[in-house]
Amino acid sequence: MSGIKGDVTFSQPQQGSAINIMVNLKGVNENLSWSIHQLPMIYDGNAAISCSASAVGALFDPNMDAQSGNYNSSCSPSNLSRFQTCAVGDLTGMLGSLNSSSAHGNFTHQNLMIPIRGPNSIMGRTLVLYSGHTPKACALIAPVHPMLTAVAVFHAPVAGVVYLRQVDDSSDTTIFVNLFYVNDAQSRKQFAWQINQGSSSCDIPREPFNPNKADGQNCSKKRHKDCPIGDLTSKLGSITVSMATKGQSKTKAAFTDTNLPLTGVNSVVGKTIVLFSSGDPKKPFACAKIMKVKPRILEATFKSSIHDGIGGYFKFTQLSPFDPTATEINLTGLKSKSQGYHVHNYPMPWKMKYTGSESCAGVYLGGHWNPFGIDVKSSPSPGSGMLPNNSQSL
């Protein structure tokens, strides 16, 4: 993104020990500040859109450190006690900004404590790199192992999604809530929420899903294992539903639940998330079933008999909205003649018996598909390279 490529790895050699941050980024040619923000990034246009504060939320600050009066002086690399005073996500304050040389290096300190598991985990949140105050690039912080993604889609009177993601049934589950009213009332309201026992209708109040028969005695926001699995309010707090702009709620939220399996005998997939007006636990307000997210696969095929000798396909695969799209290209017959390739606005008139070049004329296909109105000049310059048969290594 924005010509910056690579990875940043957060690791903890032993439980309870300091965090090690390994930065390995190409394309950093200025001073960049870096910080972790509350919400997961979803691929939605360029950095200015996908990494904006309205997309990824505020600085991740679960202990509300940034509220202190003299925050800017107490959280700066020159203050020896900064690791106690900085917000969890304030990497610039703790470690200084990134530049072309520190973009390939290790950051650690005996007092560098950034939770990578548990209720205050940075997992499922977003690392943003800023040039001044402008977001330059951002990336979702995710485990190195692939995750299963599930979703509950709400339609009315509350619409939107709750995404649940987990590596396996013993790891933390990240939850992303984007719920809003479908009418245009200026409302904002808190709801209790739970996952119901059983999967049937939303009308009847039910007990929260509780396969381990937890009695809830020691259940708290810090002790999810002592809570009924379905008791989301006790584990995570209530959720706020508000208005949305372009499908993005003003009160999006992200949580980490240490006891919410998506696989195995206690899986919540197939169960129902229910919202209750606070103080009215008998009356479900809205509900939606939790379902596995299936990969999206799109393909464009070329037949050499009708496409001027060019055969093969482009295949685009996206595992979930949190994953980048992988493009597999397999073409024959280009004869070193091809120049650019683009996605155009309209479908080709395939029913008419045109030749390849006739049906690909601009009069049918329109301009290049550019839904976010991105200035092409701001994209990294093109390079040429090899397209191996298996392009996964690209």
Footprint of Cu ion on this chain (CB under 5 A)?
342
When the beta carbons of 250 and 342 are compared against Cu ion, the nearer one is: 342
When the beta carbons of 199 and 301 are compared against Cu ion, the nearer one is: 301
Min dist CB 339 to Cu ion, Å, is: 9
Min dist CB 360 to Cu ion, Å, is: 8
When the beta carbons of 58 and 343 are compared against Cu ion, the nearer one is: 343
When the beta carbons of 5 and 342 are compared against Cu ion, the nearer one is: 342
Min dist CB 377 to Cu ion, Å, is: 17
Which residue of this chain has its Cβ atom nearest to Cu ion in the complex?
342
When the beta carbons of 225 and 342 are compared against Cu ion, the nearer one is: 342
Min dist CB 340 to Cu ion, Å, is: 6
User: What value, to the nearest 5°, has the Cα angle with vertex 85 and ends 80 and 91?
Assistant: 85
CA 100/CA 258 separation, integer angstroms: 37
What three-state secondary structure class fits 129?
Answer: strand
Helices (H), the chain: 47-50, 53-56, 71-74, 82-85, 91-95, 232-236, 356-359, 362-365
CA 27/CA 146 separation, integer angstroms: 26
Residues in a beta bridge with 24: 7, 104
Pick the closest to residue 232 from 205, 209, 253 (CA basis). 209
When the beta carbons of 303 and 342 are compared against Cu ion, the nearer one is: 342
Min dist CB 235 to Cu ion, Å, is: 50
Pick the closest to residue 97 from 75, 121, 77, 70 (CA basis). 77
Min dist CB 265 to Cu ion, Å, is: 52
Position of tokens 């003649």?
337
Specify whether the CB–CB gap between 118 and 256 falls below 8 A: yes
